[in-house]
Structure 1
Amino acid sequence: MSNIDAHFHQLFQPKTPANKLDEKTALLTNRRTPTDEQIRDWLQSPEIKQWLNKQMMGITNTLKIEMVNTIIKNILDKPDKDCRVQYSGAVIGIDVLRWQLWASYKLPYASGLKAPDCPYTLKKHLEQRD
C-alpha cells in the first residue's frame, strides 16, 4: 500500500475554479446585439468623453474623440469583432463581448503601462436611457 492520498492532485487545484471558457460561453450566450444607433449613442455620450478626457494618454482630447469615431465606423461594419485604434503609444479599443471601452497608454515619466476599462459600459448606458 502506498501512503500517497488518492486525491493528491486536488490539493493543488485553485480554491475557486476560474474557468475562462465557461465565462466566455456565458457571455456569448447572454450577449446583447445592439443596434448601430445604440452603439453610436453610447460611444458619443458625455460619460465616454469625460472618461477619455481624464485619461493621461499623451494625446489631445480631440484626437481621442477621432479615435473613438474610427472605432464607431469599424465596429458598425463588423460588430462581432473587437476593435482597437492606435496612435503613437496610445490605444483605445472596444471589447464587443462585454461591450466595454478600454484604453492603454504609457504613463508619463514612468516605465509602466496603464490599461483601464471604462466603467460606463453599453449595458449601463442602456439602463440609464430606459
Structure 2
Amino acid sequence: MSNTDANFQQLFQLTSQVNKDNENSTLLANRLTPTDDKIKDWLQSPQIKQWLTKLLMGIPNNLKVEAINTIIKNVIQNPDKDYRVQFGSSTIGVDVLRWQLWASYKLQKASGIKTPDCPYTLKKHLDVSNQLPG
C-alpha cells in the first residue's frame, strides 16, 4: 500500500510541475515587450502610486517612490529580469513575465507576512491608455 501512495504522490508532483512549466511557457509566448517609456508610464502611474500608498509596509511613501524609480532604472536596463528593492523586512518588486508589481512585508503588530500583487498590471495600463481619446 505504501508503494501505491508514494507513486501517487510522485505522479501528482510531476503533473504539478508540468502544469507550471506549461503555464510559464504560455506566459512567455504571450509576454508583452513594452518600450522603456511604457514601463516608466505604467510604474509612475497614479494607480501604482495609490496602491503603494495604501500598503502598510512600515516604510514612508517617499521610500516607496524611490523603490519604484530604482525598479524602473534596473528593469529598463534588463527587461528580461525580475527586480526587487528591499527596505528592512519590506520588499517591492516587479515580475517581468507577467508585468506585475508586487510587495512583501511583515504585518504590523502581527506575526504574518503579506504578499499582495498589484491589480494594475502593465496590460491593464496599456488597455486603459489605448482607450483614451487623442
Same fold (TM over 0.5): yes
Structure 2 residue identity aligned to 1:68? I
Q: What is the one-letter code of the residue matched to 1:87?
A: F
Letter matched to residue 80 of structure 1: D
- Residue of structure 2 in register with 1:26 after alignment: 26
| Inter-partner Cα distance in structure 2 for 1:91 and 1:105 | 6
Distance 1:39 1:84 in 2: 15
Distance 2:50 2:123 in 1: 18
Aligned partners of 2:110, 2:50: CA distance in 1, in Å?
24
In structure 2, what residue type is equivalent to 1:45? S
1:4-60 superposed Cα distances (whole Å, 9 cap, x missing partner): xxxxx77x966xx65100000000011110000000000000000000000000000
More helix by share: 2
- SS state of the match for residue 21, structure 2? helix
Q: CA deviation at 1:93?
A: 0.2
Q: In 1, distance between residues paired with 2:122 and 2:91?
A: 19
Match of 1:94 in 2: 94
Number of equivalenced pairs: 120
Instruction: Find the residue that maps to 1:69 and give its secondary structure.
Output: helix
Q: In the alignment, what sits opposite 2:80?
A: 80
Flag structure 1 segments of 5+ consecutive residues without an equivalent: 1-8
Alignment of 1:61 with 2:57, yes or no, is no
CA distance in 2, matches of 1:128, 1:51: 17
Counterpart code for 1:98: R
Question: What SS class does the counterpart of residue 33 from structure 1 fall into?
Answer: coil
Q: Percent identity?
A: 62
Alignment of 1:42-61 (within 5 A): 42-61=42-61
SS in 1 for 2:63: helix
User: Deviation above 2 Å: which 4+ runs of structure 1?
Assistant: none
3-state SS of paired residue (1:123): helix
Distance 1:33 1:129 in 2: 16
Runs of at least 5 residues in structure 2 that lack an aligned partner in the other structure: 1-6
TM-score by length of 1: 0.87
Please identify the structure whose Cα radius of gyration is greater.
Answer: 1
